[in-house]
Amino acid sequence: MSIIILGIESSCDDTSAAVVKDRVVLSNVIANQDIHKAYGGVVPELASRAHQQNIIPVVAQALSIAKVQKSDINGIAFARGPGLLGSLLVGTSFAKGFALSYNIPLIEVNHLQAHILTHFIKENSGYNNHPRFPFLCLLASGGHTQLVIVSDYLKMEMIGQTIDDAAGEAFDKCGKIIGLPYPGGPLIDKFAKQGNKNAFSFTKPKISDLNFSFSGLKTAFLYFIRDNIKKNTNFIEQNKYDICASVQCTIIDILIDKLIKAAEKTRIKEIAVAGGVSANSHLRDALLSEAKKRNWNIFIPALEYTTDNAAMIAITGYFKYLKKEFTGQDVTPVAKLMIE
């Protein structure tokens, strides 16, 4: 019998609903919230209100694209955390109501685990290449930067993480410093393509273990821009592409250096990346070239599954459904949820 899971994602500023049938994505609808652009970052209060407005139309569209009736759904999965509490409450409450109305299992999903399990989404019902266990995953997003050993679908161990800012946050904050709208990551990636990555150099943090740090880079970048503007008020406009290429290269180098270290320490050659920053073209190129050098089997998600989406929630829900890991109606969202 086929299993159809409806996934709901509302942890930050994207409202998303997806339908997955036996690991094949039938629909994955995402409503972005442009309202935050004007504020230079996500405004939690506005995010929850926008989720409240978007959730019903987004679910209706996901069901319609998937050509699935509500009564066909076997289970509803939702992101319980981590994320913004007011945002998570909207998806959680919707999922609870839906499960109750249709008398189907309610499945809580850890958003971080879901980013990693995107690697088990089937693009179609034919053969698809997935990582074999155990694999090592670099999870880099706007809120998290972690190295995770994945020994089974629902068995993961974090072996390193950022001690301050996340990699995506570093992209966004540097973007803000040079006047880019939120989120700066995709724009820095775009402008960097026309720039010279060796034009400017920034010091990388010296952290001995498998942890990351990005706050020093952000501060150094702020002073670098401020000092250069003092000398030349048009510094940013005249050097935008080189600035973007240089800071992007530094952030990606920090990520790749630690990934290499973790791969050597764990002796794992099955390597994956996930999260919003895994959309970055320089990171993707750097991974492919490291993979060649180090004989890694590399797994990079399709672009649509890098940033927040409900297909990743639905696929995780599918694996939990198989194990009958269901949740009671008394569940509440959790803003700070770890991977274990």
Query: Which residues bind to Zn ion, rule: CB under 5 A?
Result: 141, 308
- Asked if 110 and 143 count as a contact pair (C-beta separation under 8 A), the reply is no
Q: Which is nearer to Zn ion, 108 or 308 (CB)?
A: 308
Select 250 or 280, whichever has its Cβ closest to ligand KG4: 280
| Residue placing its CB nearer to ligand KG4 in the complex, 110 or 239 | 110
> What x-and-dash track marks residues 264-293 binding ligand KG4 by CB under 6 A?
-----------xxx-xx-------------
Instruction: For residue 90, list its beta bridge partners.
Output: none
CB of 216 to ligand KG4, least distance (A): 18
Residue 54 or 307: which CB sits closer to ligand KG4?
Answer: 307
For residue 300, give every residue at least 6 positions away whose Cβ sits within 8 Å of its Cβ, in sequence order, or none: 272, 273, 278, 284, 287, 288
Place of tokens 């930050």: 12
Amino acid letter, 145? T
# chain residues binding ligand KG4, by CB under 6 A:
19
Cβ 139 to Zn ion, closest distance in Å?
9
Residues in the chain: 340
86 scored as a contact of ligand KG4 (CB under 6 A): no
The CA distance from 58 to 35, in Å, is: 17
Question: Is residue 10 near ligand KG4 by the rule CB under 6 A?
Answer: no
The H or E element spanning position 288 is helix 281-294
Kindly state the smallest distance separating residue 208's Cβ from ligand KG4, in Å: 26
User: 271 and 215 in contact (C-beta within 8 Å)?
Assistant: no
Binding residue for ligand KG4, selected from 108, 172, 191, 310, defined by CB under 6 A: 172
Partner touching 280 among ligand KG4, Zn ion, none, CB below 5 to 8 Å by kind: ligand KG4
Q: By CB under 6 A, is residue 7 in contact with ligand KG4?
A: no
| 76 in Cβ contact with 20 (< 8 Å) | no
Residue of the chain from 5, 12, 62, 180 that contacts ligand KG4 (CB under 6 A): 12
Q: Does 185 bind ligand KG4 (CB under 6 A)?
A: yes
Which of 86, 91, 168, 301 touches ligand KG4 (CB under 6 A)? 168
Could you tell me where the beta strands, DSSP code E, fall in 112-254?
135-140, 145-152, 155-161
41 binds ligand KG4 (CB under 6 A): no
Q: Which is nearer to Zn ion, 27 or 87 (CB)?
A: 87
The tokens describing 154, both together, are 């629902």
Rounded distance between C-alpha atoms, residue 263 and residue 256, angstroms = 10
The pair of three-digit structure tokens given for residue 214, joined into one six-digit string? 């990005």
Nearer Cβ to ligand KG4 (14/242): 14
Token reading at 39: 């504020």
- Residue 34 CB burial class (10 angstroms; 0-12, 13-18, ≥19): exposed
Calpha distance 27→118 (Å, rounded): 14
Q: Which of 142, 160, 195, 301 lies at the binding interface for ligand KG4 (CB under 6 A)?
A: 142
Options 81, 143, 160, 301; binder of ligand KG4; rule CB under 6 A: 143
In a 10 Å sphere around its CB, with 0-12 CB exposed, 13-18 middle and 19+ buried, how is residue 328 labelled? exposed
Q: What's the min distance (Å) between Cβ of 281 and ligand KG4?
A: 7
The answer to whether residue 333 forms part of the interface with ligand KG4 (CB under 6 A) is no
Closest approach of Cβ 141 to Zn ion, in Å? Answer: 4
**Which residue's CB is nearer to ligand KG4, number 131 or number 184?**
184
Q: What is d(CA 178, CA 175) in angstroms, rounded to the nearest whole number?
A: 5
* Tokens at 89, concatenated: 């409450």
Binding site for ligand KG4 (CB under 6 A): 12, 141-143, 168, 171-172, 183-186, 189, 275-277, 279-280, 307-308
